[in-house]
Amino acid sequence: MEGDSKSRIRLSNEANILRAAEHVFARAGFVGATMAEIAECAHIPKSNLHYYFKSKKAIYRAVLANILSLWLAQTDSIHEDNDPRTALTDYIRAKMQLSVTHPDASRVFANEILHGAPEIGDYLREDLRQLVERKAEVIEHWIAQGKMMPVDPKYLFFTIWAATQTYADFDTQICAVLGVQALDAQQMHKATEHLTELLLCGCGIAH
Partner DNA sequence: TATAATCTTGACCAAATGGTCAGCTTTTAC
Partner DNA sequence: GTAAAAGCTGACCATTTGGTCAAGATTATA
Q: CB-wise, 45 or 118, nearer to DNA?
A: 45
115-122 long-range contacts, Cβ below 8 Å, gap at least 24?
115/29, 115/30, 119/60, 119/61, 119/64, 120/64, 120/68
Q: Burial letters for 104-116: b for 16+ Cβ neighbours within 10 Å, e otherwise?
A: bbbbbbbbbeeee
96 contributes a contact to a copy of itself by CB under 8 A: no
Instruction: Determine the Cα angle at 166 with ends 160 and 167, to 5°.
Output: 110
Please give the single-letter amino acid code of residue 84. Answer: P
Euclidean distance between CA atoms 91 and 69, whole angstroms: 16
State the minimum distance, in angstroms, from the CB of residue 111 to DNA: 15
| Binding residues among 171-200 for a copy of itself as defined by CB under 8 A | 172-174, 176-179, 190-191, 194-195, 197-200
- Residue 80 makes contact with a copy of itself by CB under 8 A: no
Q: Which of 35, 44, 70, 124 binds a copy of itself (CB under 8 A)?
A: 124
Among 1, 2, 4, 9, interactor with DNA by CB under 7 A: 9
Range in contact with a copy of itself (rule: CB under 8 A) among 61-69, 72-80, 138-146, 168-176: 168-176
Distances (CA, A) of 40 to 34, 35, 37, 53, 188: 10, 9, 5, 16, 31
Evaluate whether 25 touches 119 at the Cβ level (below 8 Å): no
Query: For a copy of itself, how many residues bind (rule: CB under 8 A)?
Result: 56
- Please, what is the angle between helix 84-101 and helix 185-202, to 10°? 150
Which one, 65 or 132, has the nearer CB to a copy of itself?
Answer: 132
How many Cα atoms sit within 13 Å of 158 on the Cβ side?
6
The yes or no reply on residue 11 touching a copy of itself (CB under 8 A) is: no
* Residue with Cβ nearer a copy of itself (66 or 165): 165
Mark residues 46-85: x for contact with DNA by CB under 7 A, - for none: xxx-xxx-xxxx----------------------------
Interacting residues with DNA (CB under 7 A): 7-10, 13, 33-36, 44-48, 50-52, 54-57
Interacting residues with a copy of itself (CB under 8 A): 27-32, 107, 110-111, 113-117, 121, 124-125, 128-129, 132, 149, 151-152, 154-159, 161-163, 165-167, 169-170, 172-174, 176-179, 190-191, 194-195, 197-204
